[in-house]
Each structure stands twice: as C-alpha cells, then as structure tokens.
Structure 1
Amino acid sequence: MKNSVANAPKTHDEDLPLPVIRQATTPSVADQIFDALSQRILSLKLPPSTKISEAEVAKQMGVSRQPVREAFKRLAKLGFLYIRPQSSTTVSLISENAVLRARFIRTALEVKTSRTAADSLDADGLAALAALIEDQKAAIAEKDRDKFHALDDAFHREICVQSGVGYVWNLIHENKAHMDRVRMLTLNAASQKLALDDHIKIFTALTSNDADAVEQAMTEHLSRILVHIEAIKADTHTWFTEDTQ
C-alpha cells in the first residue's frame, strides 16, 4: 500500500502550485478611467467627433498611459471611441444601427423581466418602485436632468432586482449604452414628464399583476426612441452615422 501511494502520479496542483490571489477592494485604475470616460461620452460631455489623447487623459488624471490605453481599447470595442493607429482617437459618431440593435435587445430582456415582475413582486418591491417614482417627480420639479436620468435607470433596475432577476440588469445596462447618448439628446422637461407617465403606467400594471398590460406599457415606453430619432438626427445630423465605426 505504501509503495502504491509513493508511486502514484503527482496531481496537477502539486506540479503547478498556484499563488494566492488577493481580491481587490477597489476598482483598478483602468476601470476608474473607463468609468470616467464612458460617463462623459454617454452624457455627451464628450460629444461625437471630439479628439481625445492617451497622453492628455493620463496627464489630467495623474496616471501612466498604460491604464489609459486599456480603457481606450475597451471603449473602442464597445463602439464609443474610434482609434486610428499612429493618427488620432475620436469619440465615435452615434450609430443609428447600434441604437436600434440596443433597443431590440433591451426590449426583449425588459419585456420578459417585467412579465416576471408582474407575477412575483411583493409589497416591499412595489413600495420601492413607488418611492422611485416620487423621487422622479422631485427631480422634474428641481429641473435636474442628470438626476432624473439616474432615477430612470434605477426604476428599471429595481424591477429586475425585486423580481429576483437582478443579474439581467447587468446585461441590459451593458447593451443600452448606445441608446443613452440619444436619450440625453431628448431629455428635456417634456420627455421627462412622458417617461414618468410611462413609469406610472408600468407601475399600475404591476400592482394589478397584469402581465399583458405590463408588457404593453414597457414596449411602448422603450419604443419612443424610434419616434424621436429622425427629429434628433435632423437637429444634430453631424453626430450620427448609419454605419458602425
């Protein structure tokens, strides 16, 4: 028995001892740069066609160029930066095709999620959504566009969380980014009020556990971008392209 144990082949973990990984408690430098730049791109503080350089971003943020380069590559992969090697990097134009694809994916996910919510939301979940609607009313009264946009996202995220599929919001958030730039172009007092009314319709259907009514309200809400996109393009045509860059 001893010989058989001694002659047994070594396992892989004995051949390749692995180091202990220390979990990061804060985002990496590249993550922080990515978040800062993506927020400014999606909010149009960095509008389409704006030139941006690794060196300048590194200088302003007090970091080396390597994490900036990593963030640039991530943003380019998502379609928000257009990198010309040995030339320049610019914020990409708004791709109409990318917006329409994002809207299709988001609608498919949120319709399914909202139907799940209609069957599963409890009193606490409904109370959380009601509180967000009141916060949205306050943001409109305060004329705080950025706050309303954040609360709009929070309302949709809360439907996912309260119905037990919070992980779906990560997919929605990842895919809706191209819609967000268009959303910021349309986010005036009238469109905020319209979005609020849509949220109230969705909430009312959820309180009645009416899955069909929730689906109809959610689909109508997410389809509004189709109605407005042509008018937006007419006003800011130089920011749009039908092609992905």
Structure 2
Amino acid sequence: MAAPTRSTAASVVQDALRQAILAMQIPPGSALVEKDLTARFGLSRTPVREALIKLREEGLVEVFPQAGTFVARIPVEAIPEAVFIRQALECATVELVAGIATPEIIAGLDAVIARQHVAFDDGDQERFHLEDEVFHETLAMSAGYPGIWKLAQAAKSQIDRCRRMTLPVPGRMAMVIREHLSIVDAVRRRDGPAAQAAMRKHLGTLLPDLLHLRATHPDYFA
C-alpha cells in the first residue's frame, strides 16, 4: 500500500483533531504540542502543521507567538449567529421535506430516532450525538440538497461543542428525542409550517443554556 501523501496525511490529522475538539475530548484552552502530535500520528511535523493551520482557519485552534498552539475557547458572541444560520437552513429544509415526504423518508427518520432511544437507554452520549447528526443529515439529504448539510456543518462547529456539554444534563437526551419526534410527526402529517416551528424550537434550545454553561465552565469560553 502506498504511503499517504502529505495533503492526505494533513487531512487525517485535521479530521481526527477536529472530531476530538468538537467532542470536547480536547477541551478549550488545551495545548496542542507539535512534538506530541507527530508522535501520536506517526507523521513528520509538516502535515501536522498544515492540519493546525486548517483548524485555525476553522476557528477551532489559536496560535500565540512564543506561547504555542491551543484549542480555541468558544466565542460566546458567535453562538447566536451560528444558531440563526442553522435555523435558517434547517427550517427551510424540513418544510420542504414535509411537502415531499414519502414512506421511505419517514421510515428513515423513525429508524434514527429508534437508534437514539437505544443510545439513551444505554447512557451512550457519544452514540446519541452521532445519531443526532444523522437525523439532521437525513433531513437535508431527503430534501435533495446535500450541500445544505455541508453549509450547516460549517456554521455549527462552535454550537457542537456547547451541545456536547449539555448532553450530561439530566433530562437533556430525553428532551432531544421528544423534539425529534415532534419534527417527524409534523413531517408525517405533511405539515410544513408545523415542521418548521418544531425545528426552530429544537435548534433554539441551546441559547438559554449559554449562561449556565459559562457559569459552570468559565475557562471554556471567550
């Protein structure tokens, strides 16, 4: 098997670090030491540096001359705008899906929620979050506009870190399932306005949590 190219190697590092940062496995403010990363990934410094540059462009990494590279803290002022962008994209999407809903689309959404129930019962927050992503991606794909999901992903990286922090809150995962059920119920009834309203409510629940998150994890926010 051929050795990975430099660009491929950089992408592997970038993707792995992005996922770890968004999952809060590497918390905001953590140092990212090139030497440690080269050892972890078994690569030279060049692809590691390229990956860190890309992550800085995404707003997930900060570089301080003479101090080092660190996981960026969550910019509080950026969250409302990110929520607004995501609501604009996904509310329009779910209204469209409600208008074209087929038994296959409904079955696919029901299956995702069923898997979320299993993850919830198992207390598996990681799997629960992954199925949450699949739920929203399924809606975008069902609308026939896969590019919408890519745009939503670009807008929601900071949101995702906050969302991961809320999952351990008692009752949170059950609430997410209820909200997903409300969305699917509206789609099943082919009620576009109701589907849009349910999605807007679902995506807007993060904003009231910000104050609490900042109070309990002040070092994670900027």
1:229 paired to 2:205? no
Q: 2:192 aligns with which of 211, 230, 234?
A: 211
Which structure dedicates a bigger proportion of its chain to helix? 2
Structure 1 residue 86: Cα displacement: 3.8
1:54 paired to 2:34? yes
- The equivalent of 2:123 in structure 1 is 143
Counterparts of 2:148 and 2:216 in 1: how far apart (Å)?
34
Paired residues of 2:99 and 2:192 also in contact (CA < 8 A): yes
Aligned pair count? 217
How far does the alpha carbon of each residue in 1:31-50 deviate from its partner, in whole angstroms, 9 at most, with x for none? 11001101111111110111
1:115 paired to 2:126? no
Structure 1 residue 85: Cα displacement: 2.9
Counterparts of 1:200 and 1:220 in 2: how far apart (Å)?
13
Counterparts of 1:40 and 1:99 in 2: how far apart (Å)?
20
- The equivalent of 1:69 in structure 2 is 49
RMSD: 1.5
Q: 1:173 aligns with which of 149, 153, 161?
A: 153
Amino acid at match of 2:219: T
How far does the alpha carbon of each residue in 1:182-213 deviate from its partner, in whole angstroms, 9 at most, with x for none? 01110025111100000000000000110110
Higher mean C-alpha deviation, range 192-201 or range 112-121: 112-121
Identity rate, percent:
31
Larger Rg: 1
Paired residues of 2:60 and 2:71 also in contact (CA < 8 A): yes
Counterparts of 2:177 and 2:99 in 1: how far apart (Å)?
23
- The equivalent of 2:142 in structure 1 is 162
Q: What are structure 2's unaligned runs of at least 5 residues?
A: none
Q: What are structure 1's unaligned runs of at least 5 residues?
A: 1-23
1:80 paired to 2:60? yes
1:186 paired to 2:166? yes
1:201 paired to 2:182? yes
Amino acid at match of 1:89: T
- The equivalent of 1:11 in structure 2 is none
- The equivalent of 1:45 in structure 2 is 25
Structure 1 residue 64: Cα displacement: 0.7
Amino acid at match of 1:214: A
Scaled by the length of structure 1, what TM-score is found?
0.85
Amino acid at match of 2:154: E
- The equivalent of 1:29 in structure 2 is 9
Scaled by the length of structure 2, what TM-score is found?
0.94
Structure 1 residue 87: Cα displacement: 2.9
